[in-house]
Amino acid sequence: MRWIRLLFRAFGWLLTPFMAWAASFFGCVAGAMLATRIRDPFTGLIVTAVTGGVAGFTGLLLWLRLLRQSPEIREALAVSADGTPDIVAALPILDDTAETPVATAAEPPREPAP
C-alpha cells in the first residue's frame, strides 16, 4: 500500500506542470487551426505560438486557483497551494513511542548536560 501512496504523490507533484503543458499544447493546436486561414506563414507561426502561450498561462492560472480553493485536492495530491510538492507531507510521521527525538532544521541538536 505504501508504494501506491508514493505513486499517487509523485503523480500529484507532476500534475501541475502537466496541466500547463497540456493547455499550451491544445492552445497551439487551436492556433494552428486559426493559422491555416492566414496567408503569411510567419504570421501564422506567431499566431500559433501566442495562442499556445496564452492557453498555457491561462490553464496554469485556473489550475492554481483550483488548488488554492480546494484543500481536499491539495491533501490528496500532497502539494501546497502554489502547486509545489509538499515536503512535510512526504516525511514519515513518527509516533509518540519513538525513543530518540528528531532534530529539525530550526532547532540545533542538543548536547548532553555535563
- Give tens-digit pLDDT for 15-72: 878 888 999 999 999 999 999 999 999 999 999 999 999 999 999 899 888 888 888 8
pLDDT score recorded for residue 93: 47
Nearest by Cα to 85 from 9, 3, 8, 18? 9
pLDDT score recorded for residue 66: 87
In the three-class reduction of DSSP (H, G, I as helix; E, B as strand; rest coil), residue 10 is classed as helix
Q: Is 25 left (phi over 0), alpha (psi -120 to 50) or beta?
A: alpha
Helices (H), the chain: 2-35, 41-69, 71-77, 87-90
